[in-house]
């Protein structure tokens, strides 16, 4: 899988992707927007959901776009670097870059490796690496959220289905491995949510929050 790739390209995709993913848009947006430090608000998470708890929809939108965009940019840069390479080679490098950006969001070097849960970055990465997969995963999220009104469950369902969607649309194996890698980490990061789901205690979209805020997404 890696034999045809230049080691410099591999290092650039991994390191560059990780550093891009580590950019904490939630922290930057709330500080520049004079809304305080998002890590001291609500759940303490740096994602758009928690930024929304500041009451600033504009900052939440910026965070959502930034977190999704950084995964997409990492993938697109890797794609440009291999635009004349064979499909499998290009897929391998873009998957490495996307997975690294996702890892950077979860464990950002700038924040002591304490990052977000990765849902926005997951979707942005998928859309750039294989847009039909991103669209199908997004549809899975929307349907699940509409039926059950639980955001975390929707994210878990979309993450679980994403690797299968890769094969469904006929994209290369490296993209499926990237989707699987991200899905596993999403489940790890959503462990508190999963425990509440099993107990029937996970808050619904638009409903009251009965669970301790520190574990909320």
**pLDDT single digits (tens) 61-108:** 999 999 999 999 999 999 999 999 999 999 999 999 999 999 999 999
Is residue 100, in this structure, part of any structural domain at all?
yes
The whole-angstrom separation of Cα 23 and Cα 43 is 19
pLDDT for res 206: 72
- Average pLDDT value for residue range 40-65: 92
pTM across the whole model: 0.91
Residue 2 within a domain: no
Q: Which of 174, 171, 193 is nearest to 182 (CA)?
A: 174
CA atoms 142, 102, 106, 156: torsion sign: positive
64 three-class SS: helix
* Residue-range definition of the domain harbouring residue 68: 7-215
Average pLDDT of the chain is 92
Radius of gyration of the chain, Cα coordinates, nearest whole angstrom: 17
- Total domains in the chain come to 1
Please check whether residue 209 lies inside any domain of the structure: yes
Residue 1 lies inside a defined structural domain of this protein: no
On whether residue 46 sits in a domain, the answer given is yes
């Amino acid at each position: 899988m890696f034999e045809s790739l230049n080691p410099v390209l591999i290092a650039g995709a991994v390191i560059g992707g990780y550093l891009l993913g580590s950019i904490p848009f939630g922290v930057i947006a709330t500080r520049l927007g004079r809304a305080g430090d998002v890590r001291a608000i609500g759940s303490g998470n740096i994602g758009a959901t928690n930024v929304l708890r500041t009451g600033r929809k504009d900052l939440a939108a910026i965070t959502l776009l930034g977190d999704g965009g950084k995964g997409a940019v990492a993938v697109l840069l890797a794609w440009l670097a291999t635009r004349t390479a064979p499909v499998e080679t290009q897929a391998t490098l873009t998957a490495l870059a996307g997975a690294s950006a996702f890892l950077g969001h979860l464990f950002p070097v700038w924040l002591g490796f304490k990052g977000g849960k990765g849902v926005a970055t997951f979707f942005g990465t998928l859309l750039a690496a294989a847009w039909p997969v991103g669209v199908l995963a997004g549809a899975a999220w929307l349907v699940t959220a509409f039926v059950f009104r639980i955001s975390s469950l929707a994210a878990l369902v979309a993450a679980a289905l994403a690797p299968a969607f890769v094969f469904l649309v006929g994209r290369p194996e490296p993209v499926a491995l990237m989707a699987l890698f991200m899905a596993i980490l999403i489940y790890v990061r959503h462990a508190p949510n999963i425990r509440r789901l099993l107990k029937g205690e996970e808050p619904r979209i638009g409903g009251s929050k009965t669970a301790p805020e520190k574990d909320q997404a």
